[in-house]
Amino acid sequence: MVNIAFVFPGQGAQYVGMGKEFYDNFPCAKAVFEEANEILGFDLARLCFEGPEEDLKRTLNSQLAIFTTSIASWKVIQENFNLSPMLVAGLSLGEYTALVVAQSLSFEQGLVLVQKRAQFMEEACQERASGMVSIIDLTQEEVEEISRKGGAEIANLNCPGQIVVSAESKNLKKVIDLVKQKKGKAIILKTNGGFHSSLMNSAAKKLEKELEKTEISPAKIPIVSNFSVNLETSSEEIKRNLVNQINHRTCWQGCVQLMLKRDVDTFLEIGPGKVLSKLLTRIAPSASGYNVERVKDLEKLKEWR
């Protein structure tokens, strides 16, 4: 018997062709994409399957695409396998997918919120040019020091030896130089803004107003929040965490460690890419992580039925 957590990817996991195998082989997945097309008023499925990549990686499009593909993948699992997760969690954007799985939001509510969230984040990016840098092989204390000196903020505590910072564009070179002085490695990420930092304050305020109008139900499966790094089921706490997640750091490493303490031994990453499975190998090498994004990936799940 395995103790499973369902985990869902965030922005950056997108790629052209994602979701197409499930769309072609499972009516339940096709129905998710068709519902998304109808709600949004444009062909999201075609963008996912055919690109172009330049359009797909835009914040406004990538968040919608990853969310919809992840829900379609989950539907395939839900309809074909009797798997009940102990906990659910998602990295940043992936938390919205987790909320749908936990029955706090309907798919339509989640899709509309994700669209608004992405729009607000893009608007914040336009207000202040900014970016993100992944820092490799330095401690959190060293990165905190670099952030203070370089005018940056820690945005993501992903795993041991990998921390992401956000900064205005004018400060990015200074941050990279400081990392090199510490003998670390710095990689500029392909994002169009400094997410999960005070650079997103305007987006957080707009999202808060949007959430005030949204009815969120108590979670039927506990959700591990990126912001609080705690198990959440309360509607009010869920709303508060979604707002704070926008302009404060996320702590995926802490989320995984909490799930392990709650006896989770298997992490099923549902959606495009293998980002979370790779992070798991750095956080907890002895834990089992498995990704489901293609038809062949379903074979493993037969062992758990």
**Active-site choice (73, 92, 104, 197):** 92
196 belongs to the catalytic site:
yes
**Active-site choice (196, 197, 225, 248):** 196
92 belongs to the catalytic site:
yes
- Retrieve residue 188's tokens: 């500029």
**22-38 burial by CB neighbour count: b if 16+ within 10 A, else e?**
bbeebeebbebbebbbe
Cα separation, 102 vs 80, in Å, equals: 18
Cα separation, 9 vs 14, in Å, equals: 9
Sheet holding 185-188, edge to edge: 152-159, 162-168, 130-136, 185-188
Q: How many CB atoms within 10 Å of residue 215?
A: 10
Cα separation, 304 vs 297, in Å, equals: 13
Cα separation, 195 vs 232, in Å, equals: 23
The DSSP secondary-structure symbol of 250 reads: B
Just list the catalytic residues.
Answer: 92, 196
